Amino acid sequence: MDKQLIRLRINGEVHEIALSPNRLLLDALREDLGFTGSKRGCDDSSCGCCAVLVDGTPMLSCVALAASYENCKITTVEGLGGPGNLDSVQEGFAEMGGAQCGYCTPGFMIATKALLDRNPNPTLDEIREALSGNLCRCTGYMQIYESVKYALERHGSISSSVRETPSTQAPAVR
Amino acid sequence: MADGVSQNGFSIIGKPLAMADAVAKVTGIGKYADDLYVPGMLIGKILHSPHPHARIRSIDTSRAEALAGVKAVATGNDARNPYGILPIGHDERALALDKARYIGDNVAAVAATSAEIAEQALDLLRVDYERLPAWFDPEESMKAESGWIHEQRPHNIEKEYHHVFGDPEKGFAEADFVAEERYYAGEVNQAAMEPHSTLAIWEPHDRLTVHSSTQVPFYLHRTISEVCEMPMSQIRVIKPLIGGGFGGKSEIIPLEVAACVLAKKSHKPVKITYTREEVFLAHRGRPITIVYLKVGITRAGKITAVQARVIQDGGAYCGYGPVTVLYSGALLGAIYDIANVRYDGFRVLTNKPACGAMRGHGTVNVRFAFESMLDQLAHQAGLDPLEVRRINLLKAPCITANSLRVTSYGLPECIEKVFERSNWKEKKGKLPYGKGVGVACSHYVSGAANPIVRSNMPHTTVHIKIDRDAAVTVYTGASEIGQGSDTMQIQIAAEVLGVGVNRIKLVAADTELTPIDLGSYSSRVTFMAGNACLNAAKDMRDQIFAAVAKKLGCPPADLVAKNDRIAHSTDSAKGVSFDEAVAIALEFHGALVARGTYAPPESARGGNFRGAGVGPSPAYSYSAQVAEVTVDPETGHVHVDKIIAAHDCGKALNPLTVEGQIEGSVYMGFGQALQEDMVWQDGRLMNPSLLEYRIPATKENPQIDSIVVESIDPEGPFGAKEAGEGSLAATIPAIANAIYDAVGVRINSVPITPDKILEALRAREKAGQRAETNSLTPEARP
C-alpha cells in the first residue's frame, strides 16, 4: 500500500511521517516515532497496555489507524511527565506500588488520568469501573487503587486539561 | 538473624520504599526487550505445527528463501543440539528435527526486513507432515504401549517417584475419620502482561549479544552456547526490564534460541516477539493435575496419615516437570506435623504445550486438595477447621518427616492473625445460607537448597565497587522481574554501608558485567542474592572501617556506619563523612572492591532418597488465609467479598513490596480458583487470548487484606524469607472451603465455575441431603 504523509500531534509536538493507510497507531508510535512507552500485551484489544489519550479520552492504539487521528491531540505516557516533573498520577504509581513489572502501567495511568480529568473525586467503585478495561497480572489491583488515591489527593493543583509537555522520547539502543 | 546484624535501629530496612526503577517505568523511559530497536534489525517469525503429533518428512524452504527481504530461513538442521532446563531433560530443540509434538511446536523460522515479509515467507514454507496418533489425556497417555511421544520415555511417563515416610498403614489404622477423594485442577498460564521477546545481535568478532525477556539469563547464556555451538565467552546475555514472569520466563523459551539461530545464520540483529497466542503455545504454565488423596485424622483432630497419588499432564516436553512433581510431594505434608506420608507422583507426557514452573511451583494443586480435605475431615469430626490446623502445627525448629529443615515457622501467628481479623468465631458456620467463610494454609521455599545443575559453587555472587566519586555500585546477577529484586539489594547495601539509597547504583543481570546468579525462580532472590549482597556490603564496610579506624586511632569494631558518616559508636563527634571515609580507604587500597557469595548450608540440603534434592530450602514461608464469599444458589455465581491473607516472610525488608507480592499471589490464586482454565480440544487450545482466557480484572478481583508476619529467620538477610509465591496456594482452598460454608457443597475441581456449583446443588437436592454432602466427582476435561 502506498504511504501517505500524515501529521500526528503527539504530546504537544507535531510529527510528520509517511505511513501506510493501514498502519496502526500503536505501531506508528512505537516503531516509527520511538514512543515505546505504549505497550502491546495482547492480540485482540483486551489488555489495555496500549492505551493513549485522544483528545482526553483513553483509546486503544492497537486497534486505531494512525491516519485517522491527524487532527487529534494524542497523549502517551511520555507526555504525562518525565523524570523531575512527574504528573501526580505517575508519582502515585511510583510511590504506592502501582507499578510492579510496569508493563501495564502506562495504560493504567492513561485510564487514571482520563478518570481524574472528568471526575476529580471518584469513589472506589468508580475507580474500579474506569480501570476495568486494563489488565494487571502483578498487583492484585490493591496498590493500584492506592496509587490512584495518592494521585487524587494531589490532583487539585494540576491543570485538568491534558498537559502539552515536550516529549521525553527515550533513545533506543543504537 | 544474619551474623552481626541487629534487628534494631534500621535506617532503610523495613521501611516502605518505592521501587528503584519506578520512575523509569512510569515515564515510559524504561526499556523492555520489544522496545529495543537497532539499525538493520530483522524481524523473526516462527512457523508452528498445525498437528498435535506428526513426523516431519521434509520442509521446502526454497520459495520462502527466494522472497525479496528474506535474509534467513532456519529449520531443525540449523541447530541440532537438544536442550532443556534440567540436565536430565534435554529433549527440546530450537526447531523440530524429526517430529512436531504439539499444535504450536516450532518447525521453522524466518528473518526478514519487515514483519509483513516474514509472515509472507512463513506462508511460502512447505512442510510435508505424516500425522501420528496423539495423546491428550494424561491417564490415557500413561497406558500407551507404542508410538511414544519421546522414544526414550516408555508409556509417555517422563518421571515417576514413590516416597514413603513413617508408616502410613499404621497411621490410617489409628485414624477415627478417613477421607478419600479425587481432585482435579485445570491448566493455567502465567499470562504475564509482557509477551516474550528476544533481540539477538550478531557482533564483530563472531560474538552474539542477546537481550531477552528472561528470568534466567545465566541458564540462557549456557543454552545458547550449547545450541549455537559457540563458546560462552563469545556470548553476552542482557536482561532488560521484564514485564512479569511468574515462571513463564524461567526456562529457555523457543523464541530465544530461534532468534539466536537466525542471527547467527543471517549475521544480522534479529528480534522475535511473540503474539499473545504464541505466549499460550510456548506456555510453561501450571499443569492439569489429578490428585487421588486419602487423609486420616483422630477424633481430636490430629492427622495420622496422608496418601497421595498425583498425576501431572506435563505436555510434550520435560521442562521442569520432574521438579514440579517432586515439589508436589515434598511440600504436601511438610507444612504440618505429619509422621506418616505416602506419595506417588507421575509426570506424564501428552501432545500439548509443555508445562513449567508457574508461581507456587508444584505446591498449588496439591495444597488445594489437601486443605479442602482437611476442612471436610474437620466437619466430619465436628471440629472447627481452623482449630484442626492449630492442632497439627510443627514444633519448630525441627526436621520434617521428609527431611526438610524448618528454621523459622510463623504459621501459628498467621493463623491467629486471620482468626482475629476475620472475626472467625462469629462467622464460621453462623452466616446466612449463601454466605460463608473458609480457611486454608500454605507454605513455600525461599529458594532451592540444591541447584538445578549439581555443584558446590555459590548460588549467587555480588560485587560492590567504590571509587573516587564515592558512589556505591552493586553488580548483581539477580533478575529484577517486577518483584523488587534490585530495590531489595539497594536497601541492603545502603543499610550496611550507612548511606542513602540514592548513593547506590545497581548493575544487574548482564553476563558480561555481573557475577552469576541462578535466576528469579523458586523465590530464591531475597534469601540468596540478598545474603550475597549483605556479605559483599559487610566486606566493603570492613575495608572502609579498617582504614578509618587507623586514621582515628580506634579499633574498627568501635565504628558504626549511619547517615552517610562513619563514626565512633559512643562518641559520634569522632568520625568522618562517608566521602572522607572513602578517600581514606582509597589511599590504603586503591579502588575498593568487595565480594559476597551465598550457598545454602549442608544442613539445609535435605535427605538421601531418590528425589530428595527437590523441596529442601534454607527457609520456608508460611501463609494462612480466610476467604469470605457470597454464593448465589440460583445461578451458582460466587462473589469473593474479601480475602484476609497473613504471610510469614521472615522480615519485610520493604513492606510495600511484600504487601504487593502477597496481594499479587492471592489475586493469581483467585483467578485459578474461579475463572482461569485453558480449554483443550484434541490438543488444540481453544482460548489462546486474554479475551477468552480471562484473568481477573478490577471488577472481579476481591478486596485483599494483607497482613505481614515476621518470624525473623536465623539465616535470612536481616531475617527475611520469601514473599512472592507462598500465599498463592492458600487462596484456592480458602475459597473452596468458604463455598462449602456458604451452600454446603464441596467442589473438588478448579476452576469452580457456576455450572459445577449448580450441578452439586442439584445432586444434593436429588439425594435429599441438606447436611454434609459427598463431593462432586471431578470430571477430567476432554
* DSSP sequence for B579-637: HHHHHHHHHHHSSEEEEEEE---GGGS--SSTTTTSS--S-EEEEEEEEEEEE-TTT--
Query: Which distant-in-sequence residues (6+ apart) come within 8 Å of A60 by Cβ?
Result: A45, A48, A50, A51
A42 to chain B: which residues are within 8 Å by CB? 276, 689-691
Cis peptide bond prior to B458, omega within 30° of 0: no
Contact A101 B242 (CB under 8 A): yes
Q: Can you give the pLDDT at residue B768?
A: 79
As a whole number of angstroms, the longest Cα–Cα distance in chain B is 88
Whether pTM exceeds 0.90: yes
Query: Which distant-in-sequence residues (6+ apart) come within 8 Å of B340 by Cβ?
Result: B165, B166, B167, B168, B170, B171, B172, B304, B305, B306, B401
Q: Which cell numbers hold the place of B320?
A: 521442569
Residue in chain A nearest B691 by alpha carbon: A46
Fold held by B22-30+457-598: Aldehyde Oxidoreductase; domain 4 (3.30.365)
Q: Can you give the pLDDT at residue B7?
A: 64
Ramachandran bin of A5, using left for φ above 0, alpha for ψ from -120 to 50, beta for the remaining angles? beta
Contact B689 A99 (CB under 8 A): no
Distances (CA, A) of B130 to B50, B127, B685: 12, 10, 21
For B657-672, the pLDDT digits (tens) are: 999 999 999 999 999 9
Q: Which cell numbers hold the place of B340?
A: 506418616
DSSP B773: P
Three-class SS of B642-707: EEEEEEECCCCCCHHHHHHHHHHHHHHHHHHHHCCCCCEECCEECCCCCCCCCCCCCCCCCEEEEE
Fold held by B288-450+606-767: Aldehyde Oxidoreductase; domain 4 (3.30.365)
Q: Cα angle at B765 between B763 and B769, to 5 degrees?
A: 100
A vs B, Cβ pairs < 8 A, gives 201
Give the residue range(s) of CATH 3.30.365.10 domains in chain B: 22-30+457-598, 288-450+606-767
Q: Which CATH class is domain B40-132+195-242+249-282?
A: alpha beta
User: Tell me: domain A4-80, CATH 3.10.20.30, correct?
Assistant: yes
CA distance B475 to B473: 6
Query: Which distant-in-sequence residues (6+ apart) come within 8 Å of B37 by Cβ?
Result: A31, A34, A172, A173, A174, B271
Beta bridge partners of B642: B628, B703
Position A158 pLDDT exceeds 60: no
Contact B690 A44 (CB under 8 A): yes
Three-class SS of B143-164: CCCCCCCCCCCHHHEEEEEEEE
Contact A139 B659 (CB under 8 A): no
Which DSSP string do the residues of B567-582 spell out, in sequence order? EESS-TTSEEEHHHHH
Distances (CA, A) of B181 to B373, B439, B463, B749, B751: 8, 19, 52, 11, 17
Three-class SS of B217-229: HHHHHHHHHHHHC
Contact A86 B27 (CB under 8 A): yes
Q: How confident is the model at residue A163 (pLDDT cuts 50, 70, 90)?
A: very low
DSSP B394: -
Which of 146-165 (A) contact B at CB < 8 A?
none
A135 to chain B: which residues are within 8 Å by CB? 193, 690, 695, 697
Question: What DSSP element (H or E) covers B641?
Answer: strand B638-648
The alpha helices in B267-363, defined as continuous H runs, are 276-282, 321-330
CA distance B161 to B342: 11
Distances (CA, A) of B593 to B457, B579, B707: 21, 16, 39
**A65 touching B, CB under 8 A?**
no
Q: How confident is the model at residue A172 (pLDDT cuts 50, 70, 90)?
A: very low
Contact A135 B28 (CB under 8 A): no
B664 to chain A: which residues are within 8 Å by CB? 100, 137-140
Helix (H, G, I), strand (E, B) or coil at B293: strand
Question: What DSSP element (H or E) covers B27?
Answer: helix B22-27
Residue boundaries of the structural domains of chain A: 4-80, 88-155
CA distance A18 to B701: 43
Ramachandran bin of B134, using left for φ above 0, alpha for ψ from -120 to 50, beta for the remaining angles? beta
Say which residue the cell 507526555 belongs to.
A79
CA distance B640 to B659: 19
Contact B27 A134 (CB under 8 A): no
Position A2 pLDDT exceeds 50: yes
How would you classify the pairing of strands A51-54 and B54-60?
A: unpaired
Say which residue the cell 522480615 belongs to.
B651
The alpha helices in B283-427, defined as continuous H runs, are 321-330, 364-381, 385-391, 411-421, 424-427
Q: Which cell numbers hold the place of A48?
A: 489495555
Question: How many CB atoms are located within 10 Å of the residue B579 CB?
Answer: 15
Task: Please give, rounded to a whole number of angstroms, the shortest distance from the CA of A173 to a CA of chain B.
Answer: 6
- Which residue pairs, CB below 8 angstroms and at least 24 apart, start in B387-395? B387/B301, B388/B297, B388/B301, B389/B336, B389/B415, B389/B439, B389/B441, B389/B624, B390/B415, B391/B300, B391/B301, B391/B302, B392/B301, B392/B302, B392/B303, B392/B336, B392/B337, B392/B338, B393/B336, B393/B337, B394/B335, B394/B336, B394/B337, B395/B337
Closest CA to B463 of B447, B448, B450, B478: B478
**A141 touching B, CB under 8 A?**
yes
Q: Which residues of chain B have pLDDT under 50?
A: 1-4, 770-782
CA distance B623 to B662: 9
Task: Please give, rounded to a whole number of angstroms, the shortest distance from the CA of A168 to a CA of chain B.
Answer: 8
Question: How many CB atoms are located within 10 Å of the residue B717 CB?
Answer: 32
Say which residue the cell 519485610 belongs to.
B652
Contact A138 B26 (CB under 8 A): no
Q: Can you give the pLDDT at residue B770?
A: 46
Closest CA to B118 of B39, B41, B43, B199: B43
Q: Can you give the pLDDT at residue B458?
A: 96
ipTM score: 0.96
Q: Can you give the pLDDT at residue B453?
A: 86
Contact A77 B27 (CB under 8 A): yes
Closest by Cβ to B667, choosing from A34, A105, A140: A140
Task: Please give, rounded to a whole number of angstroms, the shortest distance from the CA of A155 to a CA of chain B.
Answer: 17
Which DSSP string do the residues of chain A spell out, in sequence order? ---EEEEEEETTEEEEEEE-TT-BHHHIIIIIS--TTS----SSS-S-TTEEEETTEEEEGGGSBGGGGTTSEEE-HHHH--TTS--HHHHHHHHTT--SS-SSHHHHHHHHHHHHHH-SS--HHHHHHHTTT---SSS-SHHHHHHHHHHHHHHTTS-SSPP-PPP-PPPP--
How would you classify the pairing of strands B703-709 and A51-54?
A: unpaired
Contact A82 B36 (CB under 8 A): no
A93 to chain B: which residues are within 8 Å by CB? 22, 25-26
Query: Which distant-in-sequence residues (6+ apart) come within 8 Å of B173 by Cβ?
Result: none
**B66 and B292 in contact (C-beta within 8 Å)?**
no
Residue B586: CA count within 13 A, CB half-sphere: 14
Q: Which cell numbers hold the place of B383?
A: 471440629
Q: Can you give the pLDDT at residue A174?
A: 28
Distances (CA, A) of B52 to B76, B100, B102, B528: 18, 7, 4, 41
CATH architecture for segment(s) A88-155: Orthogonal Bundle (1.10)
Q: Can you give the pLDDT at residue A171?
A: 35
Question: What DSSP element (H or E) covers B266?
Answer: helix B254-266
**A115 and A127 in contact (C-beta within 8 Å)?**
yes
Single-letter residue type at B285: G
Beta bridge partners of B640: B629
Give the residue range(s) of CATH 3.90.1170.50 domains in chain B: 40-132+195-242+249-282
Distances (CA, A) of B14 to A39, A90, B4, B9, B657: 33, 24, 17, 10, 10
Burial class (CB in 10 A: 0-12, 13-18, 19+), B502: exposed
Ramachandran bin of B750, using left for φ above 0, alpha for ψ from -120 to 50, beta for the remaining angles? beta
Contact A103 B192 (CB under 8 A): yes
